[in-house]
Chains A and B, each alone.
Chain A
Amino acid sequence: MTTLNVPVTQRDHAKGPANAPVTLVEYGDYECPHCGLAHPIVKLIHQHFGQRLRFVFRHFPLGQAHPNAESAAQTAEFAGAHGKFWEMHDSLYGNQDRLGLPLYLALAGILELPELELRNALVEGTYVPKVRADFLSGVRSGVNGTPCFFINGVRHDGTYALEDLGAAIEQQLRVSVPI
């Protein structure tokens, strides 16, 4: 059993109540097509489970395979620093085939984020340490590709198909909420 070695903390991007019975952690890469396919599934899952689920996203950019993954992750972090992580997260996955500086600046404009500041942050690598820390936390937890999900700290070795992921979360709910 492979388990999440780095617990969820304040520095993570989380959606849903901190005391939710199930926490779903995803390690993802904005340029990975499988993560792109998983993104709407995760949204459906979150809608379905509502307050019973907390969703956490951590970066796991495979930069050698995906040349834009790292800059996209940094752009999401920049938006996060301005309180708009999830808006940027959704927009990046929604425009996965157009990743690159022109897209980041356009999205920053739409989300009313300071574009010049974003460009400087990317040039200066302001968010490199945060993205790297996420990546290394994944490496130490046995992330073996993207997307990689952990349900209440245990790696989900099934597929990211709605029924697979949903069933695994259902099972955790049964364990954690005595009827």
Chain B
Amino acid sequence: MAQILTAGTPAPDFTLHVTPDQLLTLGDLKGKPMILAFYPADWSPVCGDQVALYNEILPEFRKHGAELLGLSVDGVWCHAAFARDRRLHFPLLSDFEPKGAVARSYGAYREREGVCERALFVLDRNGVIFWSYCSPIAVNPGADGILGALERMEKQESKDDNAQRSGHAA
């Protein structure tokens, strides 16, 4: 398994296709907690695969103000067809050319198979990795780790806020 980037590391910026004619830059989304979900491939044969699962849990992520991005090496047209077929309500980014470059920068690329790891990253509002997790490729990691991280991050933010406020008062 690759060595993925860990908590405290600034998330490497990237610009990738989100639709055939639109690009998305991670840096533009600062100010919101972000979830990056790298996964090996579209069209996984099981229902309730990782992507379908996150699609259902999206409202829970958004309760924390977080946005989710899915990333794989599949091409834009493949992503478009997959997203339509599965009625996905979050963007899929295409780490297609140069293949897997973004996944590599996060330590989440499998050279041998030429696909992304099942790697999860939760970024704070400043674009710093707050939590990361790499699952064995055959095991869908679920969403409990992401939700736990979002909750801890919220608690920490409110603690920092309070500290700042009492600092000002002193």
Contacts and interface: CB of A to CB of B under 8 A. Distances in A.
Nearest to A33: B47
A167 B56 CA distance: 32
A139 B143 contact: yes
A121 to B, nearest CB: 22
A142 B48 contact: no
B47 A62 contact: yes
Given A62-B56, A64-B89, A65-B52, A139 B144 contact: yes
Of the candidates B89, B139, B141, B144, the one having the most CB atoms from chain A within 10 angstroms of its own CB is B144
Nearest to B58: A64
Nearest to A157: B139
A62 B89 contact: no
Interface residues of A, number: 23
A134 to B, nearest CB: 13
Interface in A23-76: 29, 32-34, 60, 62-66
A171 interface: no
Contact of B55 (A29, A64, A139, A157): A64
Interface stretch (A82-90, A97-105, A109-117, A143-151): A143-151
Contacts, number: 69
Given A34-B46, A65-B47, A142 B142 contact: yes
B86 A64 contact: yes
B24 to A, nearest CB: 22
B42 interface: no
B165 interface: no
B50 interface: yes
Contacts of A122: none
Interface string A1-25: 0100100000000000000000000
Nearest to A67: B87
Contact of B48 (A5, A65, A157): A65
Contact of B147 (A2, A62, A140): A140
Interface of B: 46-50, 52-53, 55-57, 60, 86-89, 139-145, 147
Interface of A: 2, 5, 29, 32-34, 60, 62-66, 135-136, 139-146, 157
